[in-house]
């Protein structure tokens, strides 16, 4: 006889799912990355700047997955910009570690003109760092912040939302 495992939802998780029912079907986005010799510092730990590079790579790979490429952004005259990028380091990464980077939307305006994305960087199933970025969209002709076109909105609607996601004004 097969056993069935039942997991009870916490009140906050239940409320989150009611508020964002599309999250029931949203897949997570996980990017495996390779630790290279050139990524190491003199102490044989991962250089701090590589964490930021991996976050940028993960964000761009997500956009490309949904066909929001550099070419499309050039045609739309729109591009992402960052206001803040912060990394909290938990465990060092060394050459040979198996590393993955994920991406979750933590906060956003309803029009996706401003947003916060968080990356959890894990090595061998252990959280190594948490990278958080605050960003927006820039009209590359006017050189001003702007509400993104519908193509951008459709991509951001597919982004996995963090458990404590919130809309902001």
Between CA 111 and CA 114 the distance in angstroms is 8
| pTM for the structure as a whole | 0.84
pLDDT at 108 over 50: yes
Between CA 97 and CA 154 the distance in angstroms is 35
pLDDT at 6 over 60: no
Q: Determine, yes or no, domain membership for 6.
A: no
pLDDT value, residue 27? 80
Tell me if 120 sits within 8 A of 101, measured CB to CB.
yes
Q: Determine, yes or no, domain membership for 142.
A: yes
In angstroms, how far apart are the furthest CA atoms of the chain?
66
How confident is the model over 119-129, as a mean pLDDT? 97
Question: What whole-number percentage of the chain has pLDDT above 70?
Answer: 85
Question: Please, which pLDDT band fits residue 26 given cuts at 50, 70 and 90?
Answer: low
- Domain of residue 134 covers 11-167
Q: Determine, yes or no, domain membership for 1.
A: no
The total number of structural domains that make up the chain:
1
Between CA 4 and CA 22 the distance in angstroms is 25
Average predicted confidence (pLDDT) for the chain: 89
Q: What is the CATH number of the domain that holds 98?
A: 3.10.129.10
What 3-state class would DSSP assign to 31? strand
Q: Determine, yes or no, domain membership for 2.
A: no
- Identify the residue whose tokens are 């609607």: 157
Between CA 52 and CA 129 the distance in angstroms is 10
The enclosing H or E element of 54 equals helix 48-65
């Amino acid at each position: 006889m097969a056993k069935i495992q039942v997991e009870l939802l916490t009140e906050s998780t239940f409320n989150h799912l009611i508020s964002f029912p599309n999250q029931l079907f949203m897949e997570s986005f996980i990017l495996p990355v390779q630790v290279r010799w050139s990524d190491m510092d003199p102490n044989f730990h991962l250089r701090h700047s590589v964490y930021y590079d991996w976050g940028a790579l993960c964000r761009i790979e997500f956009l490309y997955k949904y066909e929001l490429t550099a070419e499309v952004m050039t045609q739309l005259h729109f591009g992402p910009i960052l206001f803040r990028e912060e990394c909290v380091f938990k465990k060092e990464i060394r050459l040979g570690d198996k590393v993955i980077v994920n991406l979750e939307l933590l906060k956003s305006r309803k029009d996706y003109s401003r947003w916060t994305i968080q990356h959890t960087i894990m090595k061998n199933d252990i959280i190594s760092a948490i990278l958080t970025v605050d960003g927006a969209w820039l009209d590359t002709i006017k050189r001003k912040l702007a509400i993104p076109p519908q193509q951008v909105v459709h991509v951001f609607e597919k982004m996995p939302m963090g458990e404590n996601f919130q809309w902001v004004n």
